[in-house]
Structure 1
Amino acid sequence: MAKPLLEFTDRGIYCAQGKFYIDPWKPVDDAVITHAHADHAYVGHKNYLAHHLSKEVLYYRLGEINLRTIEYGETVTKNGVQISMYPAGHVIGSAQIRVEYKGVVWVVSGDYKTDDDGISTPFEPVKCHHFISECTFGMPVYSWKPQSEIFTDVNNWWRGNVENGVATVIVGYSLGKAQRILQNLDLDIGKVYTHGVIENTNEALRRNGVMLNPTERITSESSKEEVRKGIIIAPPSSVGTPWMRKFGPYSFGYCSGWMAIRGAKRRRAADRGFIMSDHADWNGLVSAIDATGCECVYLTHGYTASFTRYLNEIGFNAREVHTLYGGEEEDSTITEGEEVKEENELSKEEKVSPIGGDLEGAAP
């Protein structure tokens, strides 16, 4: 039996023919990176290959790494293996990795969502024989509302807070959620202020040529009264800290796919919970997998056991695999019995201090 083109190893997804890894979590010589979140892009590799729009964020987070970047659809050949990247729709610069050798095609999706968020390059299905997929929200209870409806709610909430003299703090992860929020706010209501973690990432993206709406970093010189008239975008690590409390009285909104589960908003002490995720929902996962036309799908993180069973029941050849992915953006899971499982409130993204620094705090 021929050896598969890609293997799941204790270092990551490995291509022996090409002598490279995809999103490895231990140091390797050649790493191909799907996106810049911390559970997919680790420090310590000799060589990195990623999409062009991940360049400055990777430098900010990992330091002066040996990085080569390519565009979507561009092909790089390593030892006869063709590597190309296609949009994953997850965050700015996220890519699916297409690997081809002697007519056999594998696609590693990384993390993805199928809905267009207005800032990330929209997801593109890629035909393949083997598809490696996440299933973070691989349960029918997860079904996202249209983005326009979500941001109507967000902007109405913000407007109401301004009218009532209450500050507005909205929480989202620094790469992905924060930019999605920023680009969909109604700036006629007021200015957008950012925690240092958020603004550092915004600045990296702007250096990469990404056009983002204007923001103002909160520093020790910022006027509390002026900040309170706008909206503050902050990371999950700021929740409950003196940094956030200083803007009180405020209304605090949390953006996460887990807000679809009863009790999630209460557990985060949020005034408002907005159901918003940069991962595909149940229907998005099924439709994306179906669109690949794959012969076999491998499920790497999320509801792998139950989603594998479901896919096999409806005619797919699905297999469950175990990796270290899945910690950077969503910080809770739900069991098959639909009971919320408590996990650490700080995501992996915000536990690891990057070379770029200032991950946990901004000036008061």
Structure 2
Amino acid sequence: MNSKVKMTSNGIVVLHSDKTVHLDPKRGTENGISFVSHAHLDHLHNQKGDGVLIASKQTTEIAKLRGYVIENYVEQYENFSMIDAGHILGAKGLLFDDLFYTGDISIRNRGFMKGATVPKCKTLITECTFGMPEYVFPTIDDTVKRVNEIISELYGKGKPVILLGYELGKAQILSHLFSHWDPYYHDSVKKVNDLYRQFGVPLDESIGHTEAESRGLLEKKPWLMIAPNMSGRNAFVKHMKSKYDAITIGFSGWAQSSRFSFARGHDYSIALSDHCDYNELIDLVKRCNPEKIYTVHGFVDEFAADLVKRGYDAQSLREDSIDNYV
């Protein structure tokens, strides 16, 4: 069946049979079918209209925690299947009419978070945040080993350590991977961790930084804390450094680039991401084995050109572009 896909000012739109499918729209849509892949803020919108909205329960609950209300949603809809995306809790891709939209995706196992399920499809719409060969990340085991060595060395000097990662997704992975250090949580991380735990994710309970500081617990050094990703210029980081002489370790896929540490002002920068790295994106494409590929979000032109060199029919999807596919 012929359909059309286009990038609009409101995100990706698929004109499929007699239906209009909006993939991660930036604004609420009045009709058609909308899909919200996960609860990072750049993928959420305020719901409106009478259309069908497909999302996971975890996504709607996390959205509520972040100030967005998604009430009239479905987890199942005829001829549409949500696929685990391995990005954050509740993150899904969407499979319909032999088309697979990845949303944000990771095929790598990371602690409690299992890598994505990747279906076969004729058409693939894939993110390519790290779609350049320079972005190949170390293994999780190597990352954990290196960070444990850094923490151990700093503890030997009596230094507190703050692990900085995005408060939804990466902070929970860090909380799990380094739970043996009995970390405190930044208040914002604690809220998300508590919600994850309600969905059965095995994260240890701990107290937030405000309570820890008010009780004088941060005076008893060394200690470990999991906090949101923020720069060295942030007031919280400045306070922790000036009062407690804390050392920061920042986690991001962008740490694979030498520019990351300078830009964020962390004492250490570690490459860790909830997205596929370059090699994993190539593996994702091979697993899907599509006839047509559209690249979105990230190095869209570079990754599409790379795929063409590998023999795939691939193109970047940009606003005002439109194409037919089978």
Pairwise same-fold verdict (TM > 0.5): yes
- Contact 1:138–1:285 under 8 Å retained in 2: yes
> Following superposition of structure 1 onto structure 2, how do residues 109-148 of structure 1 map, counting pairs within 5 Å?
109-148=102-141
Residue 146 of structure 1 and its aligned partner are, at CA, apart by 1.0
Q: How many residues align?
A: 308
- Map of 1:289 onto structure 2: 285
| Alpha-carbon distance change, 162 to 127 in structure 1, aligned in 2, over 3 angstroms | same
The counterpart of 1:50, out of the listed 51, 55, 63, is 55
Shift of 1:118: 2.2
Offset of 1:3 from its aligned partner? 4.7
1:307-318 equivalences under 5 Å are: 307-318=303-314
- TM-score, length of structure 1 as denominator length: 0.79
Q: Which residue of 2 aligns with 1:349?
A: none
Q: Are 2:25 and 1:24 equivalent residues in the alignment?
A: yes
2:197 partner SS:
helix
Native 8 Å contact 1:92 1:119 kept in 2:
no
| Larger helix percent | 2
Q: Is the counterpart of residue 194 in structure 1 residue 190 in structure 2?
A: no
Separation of aligned partners in 2, 1:215 and 1:226: 17
Report whether the alignment pairs 1:211 with 2:202: yes
CA contact (8 A) 1:106 1:130 kept: yes
Q: State the SS of the aligned residue for 1:133.
A: strand
1:151 to 1:45, Cα distance in 2 relative to 1, 3 A: farther
Does 2:33 match 1:33? no
Query: Of the candidates 251, 257, 269, which is equivalent to residue 255 of structure 1?
Result: 251
Contact 1:133–1:300 (Cα < 8 Å) also in 2: yes
CA contact (8 A) 2:24 2:35 kept: yes
Does residue 175 (structure 1) correspond to residue 168 (structure 2)? The answer is yes
Alignment of 1:1-364 (within 5 A): 3-4=2-3, 6-16=5-15, 17-29=18-30, 30-46=33-49, 48-68=53-73, 70=75, 75-77=76-78, 82-100=79-97, 105-187=98-180, 190-219=181-210, 221-225=214-218, 228-237=221-230, 239-248=232-241, 249-322=245-318
Deviations 1:319-341 (A, max 9, x none): 11126xxxxxxxxxxxxxxxxxx
| Larger deviation, residues 157-166 vs 59-68 | 59-68
How far apart are the structure 1 equivalents of 2:48 and 2:143?
39
User: 5+ unaligned residues in a row in structure 1: which ranges?
Assistant: 324-364
Provide structure 2 residue ranges, at least 5 long, that are not aligned to the other structure: 320-326
What is the CA–CA distance in structure 2 between the aligned matches of 1:262 and 1:159, rounded to whole Å? Answer: 25
**Aligned residues: CA RMSD:** 2.1
1:87 and 1:96 in contact (8 A); partners too = yes
